[in-house]
Structure formats: C-alpha cells, structure tokens
C-alpha cells in the first residue's frame, strides 16, 4: 500500500489496522465524523478507511479557497505559478512509486499501465500547463477612436476564483490533474472531490501540493460520494465560481441543473459509446492490435474505448476471428503479474453492471464470440471484481447494448458495405466523444474523420494525446473543450481593456 504520510490509523472490523485517509482543508489534514471503506478490487479486501466530508467541511474548504483567491495565489505572476506547478510535477515524480502503488491498490490495474499512463500523465499534465502559462501571451488590437486618435484593445485573463473539481475513478490521477493543473495555472483556487472509489492518489497529490508550498487554501481535497455527500455539497454551493466535472452524462446533467441556479461556468467530460471503423484497405494486423487496445485497455474503463466496431464486409469474418484470437490471449491477472494485460473492474458494483450487459446482450440475441462471463482463478481473485474480456456480434444498431455505455471490456463487431453507411451508423448515437478510423487511403481518412460527430477522431492509432489540442465531446459526451489554450480560456475570466493612447 502506498506510503500515505498524512493518514491516521483506523482499526477495521476484522481488527486489522488500516490507513485513515483524511481531507485537506485550508492547509490542514482534517478528520470528519463519518468514514467509508476503500476496497481493493483484486481480492475485495479493505485497503484503507476514508474520511467523508460533510457539508460543513466542504463549506470550510470553499471558504478557505475564497480567502486564498483574494490573497497572494490569485495575484501571483504566471512565472511564479509555473514554478509552483513544476514543483508539484517534480514532487509526483519523486514519489512515483507511491503514486503507482496508490492507483494499483484502488483499481487493480496493471502496474505497467499505472507507470506508463496514469502517473506519467499526472506529471505531464502539470508540466504542460506550466510551460503553457510561461509562454502564453495575449491578444492586442490597434484601432482608431471616433476622434481619430489611436486606441489599443488588449485581452486580459484573470482567475475565475474558486473552482470545484469533481473527478471519476477510471483514470484517477490523470483525470484529477487534467483539471487541477490548469485551474491552478490560471491562478484559481481549487476544491477537489475525487471519486469515492479511488481516494488514494488524490490524497498523495494533496501531500505533494502541500510540500510544494502553495498557500493554504489554494488546493483543498474533500472525500466523499455524490448525492447527499461531498460531490453534491460542492457542486450546489453558491460560493464556487465554476465547476469542472468528469463522469457519467446523467451526473453531468444533475450538476448542470445546480450550476444553472447561479449561472456558474461548467466544463463537462462525460460518457461515450465510441466507434472504431475498419476498412478493407486497412493495415489488417495494425487494425486488429489497435482495436484490441481501444476495446480492452484498463478493462474497457476508458471513456475513449471502442464499444462499437464496424468492419467492412470483405474482411469481417477474418477480422472477428483475429480479434477473438487476440482477446483470448489477453492475460487477465494480478496487477504485477508478468505480461498482465487486464486487471479487474473497479468495484463489485461496476462488475455487476457490466455482467448485466453481458446478460442483456444474450437476451437481445447477440452471439458471444468470446468471454461473456467471469474468470475462475481458484484463489483470492475470485473475491475480486474480474470479468472476461468479451466480443459480441449479431445485434442491430437499435439494441440497448449498442446505444448505452457499458464501460467494461466488451465490444460489438458489425459488418458494413459502404463508407456512407459506416459514417451514418457511427453518428447514430446520443454520444459524440471519440472515434477511430483504420484505413490506408489518405483521402478516405480525412473525408471520414471530418464527418464523425465526435470531439476527437484518431486515424490508424488510438489514445495518442497531444496536450495542446482541444479535448472533449459533443452531444451527451460533454460541454466545452480542455487542453492547451482551451483550458486557459475555461479557467479564466477574460476581459477586454481599451485604452485611448
Ligand atoms: N469524457 C471524458 O473525458 C471522461 C473521462 C473519464 C470518464 N468519463 C465517464 O465517467 C463515467 C465513469 O466515471 P464514474 O462512474 O466515476 O462517474 P460518476 O458520474 O458516477 O461519478 C463521477 C464523480 O462524480 C461524483 N458524483 C456522482 N454523483 C454526483 C452528484 N449528483 N453531484 C456531484 N457529484 C457527483 C462521484 O462521486 C465521482 O467523484 C463514465 O461514463 C465515463 O465515460 C468521461
Ligand atoms: O477515460 C477517459 C480518458 C480521458 C483522457 C483524457 O482526459 C486525457 O487524455 O487528457
């Protein structure tokens, strides 16, 4: 288990001592009257106990952030804020193994993924926004007043003030820092509420930010759940200036209703039902490997994963056979097992949701090409939240399994005959987050990608990220874009100043 130095000790029901993860408010570690178990999904054992922030604790965090936003942090120069972000990045790097252990304990993901993706991106997120604010200029327009004298118009960016950050459990550190880094970079103060499923790396982040010497109140961490808990207390508070949220679309809708009350700025990264389209002219082996990655990475618990795969008919049977062969070779195992490809789902609750879709697929008439159940290990992992990676075919596009986000290691493969048919079927979705196109025809790549009603399209690759680009979804998949200057715009109050020279 990670060395979470800020934790106290809790005696669990079975009598064993486990860490008690605390909230971080106004520069102090705070215990609250209520707490909840944090469970390791590999074996169902308790990892730690977590303090649940009540309304008073959340309000205290918001008030501390407000004081700090009126203090030095909000007035810091961009150079000093960039230096602070770099200290945070360095602090994560120095405790790299602690962060890896935290992510693995909470999620059961492969250690190699926690190293190469989750923690690496936590560092990169802070460094990329430090670099950006250190070099980002602003706009200036020269003009002429009515009396003929010269006027200068320039754009000024000021902090919004207090930003609420609510993040999900699937890529805990990556997604929390993807919001916290730009929010702090732009001089805001933050109250962060990580998912109740994954509190450990967020707690370590608070330790690193504390050690980096940011003023008390600049960053606050409140643990808890959504409804009637810290998430709701934060998102409905009239004393925050903006809310940035990543999670399910229906949760986003709930938060948006609350934000409407005070006309709060919102940025939403929500659900998806992403499609991959494989043309007959694709590099066959690359497409098979790419769809295996885009369907089963992180046990399918990535918002960008392909749950719908459309394959041009001439190669459909061969592609399904090759994909199934690859799926059956995926190693489902302990996080540190040699060659492990996939760990458990994040919780028993989520496993039951995914298994309910495996059952629904059968009810809707699907053919289960491989997987479709729960692996049997004959050891403690049978008390974990493992499911088999699964491929299904044979459903109509109107089936629930083709329209609802499952968020597990499963994809449905359908044949198509024409490019226009493929595009129409991809876009026939309430979601619009990401898409993938596999083809060696350059004109077709550009033509098809431009027609996807999604915020992101990858061609002959997947989840390749340039942090300067706009990231976000259309339709039910989100509101706004973050990344590069798009984040600077969201996390700033932008004003125009006109000076008669
Ligand atoms: N678009 C993206 O970039 C992106 C990235 C990752 C995950 N996601 C989506 O997130 C979902 C999985 O994450 P999840 O299960 O944690 O989502 P979720 O909506 O259940 O919870 C997300 C966060 O919101 C909090 N929350 C829940 N209800 C709330 C409420 N009423 N008020 C305030 N806060 C509330 C939770 O405690 C958690 O911290 C999937 O739909 C996935 O597609 C999207
Ligand atoms: O599960 C969704 C993954 C989101 C990834 C990002 O937000 C990113 O790569 O910046």
The string of pLDDT tens digits covering residues 210-224 is 999 999 999 999 999
- Ligand at minimal distance from the CA of 346 is 1
Report whether 3 contacts 28 (CB < 8 A). Answer: no
Q: For residue 67, count other CB atoms closer than 10 A to its CB.
A: 16
User: Across the beta sheet with 8-11, what order do the strands follow?
Assistant: 8-11, 17-21, 45-52, 34-40
Give 14's pLDDT tier (boundaries 50, 70, 90). Answer: confident
Give the pLDDT mean for 114-142.
97
162-166/34-40 β-pairing: unpaired
Instruction: Sketch out the chain's domains with CATH numbers.
Output: 20-270+477-500 (3.40.605.10), 274-459 (3.40.309.10)
* Atom in ligand 2 nearest the alpha carbon of residue 168: 1
Q: Read off the pLDDT of residues 101-112 as tens digits, 9 standing for 90 and up.
A: 999 999 999 999
- Expressed in angstroms and rounded, the spacing between residue 175 Cα and the centre of ligand 2 is 6
- pLDDT value, residue 72: 86
- pLDDT value, residue 240: 98
Residue 2 confidence (pLDDT) above 80: no
Give 3's pLDDT tier (boundaries 50, 70, 90). Answer: confident
- Expressed in angstroms and rounded, the spacing between residue 408 Cα and the centre of ligand 1 is 15
271 touches ligand 1 (CB under 6 Å): yes
Q: Read off the pLDDT of residues 43-70 as tens digits, 9 standing for 90 and up.
A: 999 999 999 999 999 999 999 999 999 9
- Expressed in angstroms and rounded, the spacing between residue 167 Cα and the centre of ligand 1 is 6
Which candidate, 18, 28, 3, 26, places its Cα nearest to that of 50?
18
Q: Which of 120, 166, 269 to mutate to test the pocket of ligand 2 (most atoms within 8 A of CB)?
A: 269
- pLDDT value, residue 497: 98
Q: Which of 120, 173, 176, 178 to mutate to test the pocket of ligand 2 (most atoms within 8 A of CB)?
A: 178
99 touches ligand 1 (CB under 6 Å): no
Q: Which of 177, 231, 247 to mutate to test the pocket of ligand 1 (most atoms within 8 A of CB)?
A: 247
Torsion angles phi and psi, residue 44, rounded to 5: 75, 10
- pLDDT value, residue 490: 98
Residue 130 confidence (pLDDT) above 80: yes
Written as one string, the DSSP assignment of 412-432 is EEEEESSHHHHHHHHH-SSEE
Report whether 122 contacts 99 (CB < 8 A). Answer: yes
- Expressed in angstroms and rounded, the spacing between residue 134 Cα and the centre of ligand 1 is 32
Give the pLDDT mean for 123-133.
98
* Atom in ligand 1 nearest the alpha carbon of residue 478: 1
267 touches ligand 1 (CB under 6 Å): no
Q: For residue 14, count other CB atoms closer than 10 A to its CB.
A: 8
Average pLDDT, the chain: 97
Contacts of 470 (CB under 8 A, 6+ apart): 455, 481, 482, 483, 484, 486
Nearest CA to ligand 2 atom 5: 175
Which candidate, 99, 80, 297, places its Cα nearest to that of 204?
99
- Expressed in angstroms and rounded, the spacing between residue 463 Cα and the centre of ligand 2 is 8
Residue 194 confidence (pLDDT) above 70: yes
- pLDDT value, residue 445: 98
Enter the DSSP assignment of 333.
-
Report whether 410 contacts 353 (CB < 8 A). Answer: no
Residue 1 confidence (pLDDT) above 70: no
What distance in Å separates the CA atoms of residue 23 and residue 276, rounded to the nearest whole number? Answer: 41
Give 26's pLDDT tier (boundaries 50, 70, 90). Answer: very high
- Ligand at minimal distance from the CA of 476 is 1
Residues identified as active-site? 269
With a Cβ cut-off of 6 Å, ligand 2 is lined by 170-171, 175, 178, 302-304, 465, 471
- pLDDT value, residue 260: 94
pTM listed for this prediction: 0.98
User: Across the beta sheet with 150-159, what order do the strands follow?
Assistant: 140-144, 150-159, 492-500
Q: Read off the pLDDT of residues 426-456 as tens digits, 9 standing for 90 and up.
A: 999 999 999 999 999 999 999 999 999 999 9
Packing angle, helices 200-211 and 172-185, rounded to 10: 30
Give strand pairing partners of 193.
Answer: 166
- pLDDT value, residue 46: 96
Residue 259 confidence (pLDDT) above 60: yes
What distance in Å separates the CA atoms of residue 349 and residue 82, rounded to the nearest whole number? Answer: 40
Q: What is the dihedral of CA 20, 24, 30, 34, to 10 degrees?
A: -60
């Amino acid at each position: 288990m990670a060395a979470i130095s800020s934790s106290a000790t809790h005696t669990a029901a079975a009598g064993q001592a486990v860490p008690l993860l605390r909230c971080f408010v106004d520069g102090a570690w705070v215990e609250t009257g209520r707490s909840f178990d944090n469970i390791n999904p590999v074996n169902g054992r308790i990892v730690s106990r977590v303090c649940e922030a009540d309304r008073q604790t959340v309000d205290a965090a918001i008030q501390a952030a407000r004081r700090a936003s009126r203090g030095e942090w909000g007035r810091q120069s961009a150079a000093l804020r960039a230096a602070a972000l770099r200290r945070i990045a360095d602090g994560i790097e120095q405790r790299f193994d602690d962060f890896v252990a935290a992510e693995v304990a909470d999620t059961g993901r492969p250690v190699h993924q926690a190293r190469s993706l989750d923690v690496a991106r936590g560092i990169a997120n802070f460094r990329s926004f430090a670099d950006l604010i250190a070099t980002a200029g602003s706009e200036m327009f020269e003009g002429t007043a009515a009396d003929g004298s010269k006027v200068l118009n320039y754009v000024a960016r000021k902090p919004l003030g207090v930003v609420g950050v609510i993040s999900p459990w699937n890529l805990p550190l990556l997604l929390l820092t993807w919001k916290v880094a730009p929010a702090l970079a732009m001089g805001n103060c933050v109250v962060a509420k990580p998912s109740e499923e994954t509190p450990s790396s967020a707690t370590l982040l608070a330790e690193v930010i504390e050690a980096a010497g940011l003023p008390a109140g600049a960053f606050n961490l409140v643990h808890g759940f959504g409804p009637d808990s810290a998430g709701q207390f934060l998102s409905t508070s009239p004393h925050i200036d903006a809310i940035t949220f990543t999670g399910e679309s229906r949760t986003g809708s709930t938060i948006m209703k609350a934000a409407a009350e005070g006309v709060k700025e919102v940025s939403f990264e929500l659900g998806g039902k992403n499609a991959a389209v494989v043309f007959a002219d694709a590099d066959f082996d690359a497409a098979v490997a790419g769809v295996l990655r885009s369907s089963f990475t992180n046990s399918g618990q990535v918002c960008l994963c392909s749950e719908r795969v459309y394959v041009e008919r001439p190669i459909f049977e061969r592609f399904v056979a090759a994909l199934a062969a690859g799926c059956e070779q995926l190693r489902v195992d302990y996080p540190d097992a040699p060659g492990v490809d996939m760990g458990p789902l994040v919780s028993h609750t989520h496993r039951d949701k995914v298994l309910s879709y495996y059952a629904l697929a059968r009810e809707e008439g699907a053919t289960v090409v491989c997987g479709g159940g729960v692996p049997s290990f004959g050891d403690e992992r049978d008390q974990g939240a493992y499911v088999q990676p699964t491929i299904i075919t044979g459903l109509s596009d109107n089936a629930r399994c083709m329209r609802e986000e499952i968020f597990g290691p499963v994809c449905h493969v359908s044949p198509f005959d024409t490019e226009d048919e493929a595009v129409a079927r991809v876009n026939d979705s309430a979601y619009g987050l990401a898409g993938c196109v596999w083809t060696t025809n350059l004109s077709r790549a550009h033509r098809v990608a431009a027609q996807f009603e999604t915020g992101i399209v990858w061609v002959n690759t997947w989840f390749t990220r340039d942090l300067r680009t706009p990231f976000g979804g259309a339709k039910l998949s989100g509101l706004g874009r973050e990344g590069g200057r798009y984040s600077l715009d969201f996390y700033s109050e932008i004003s125009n100043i006109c000076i008669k020279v």
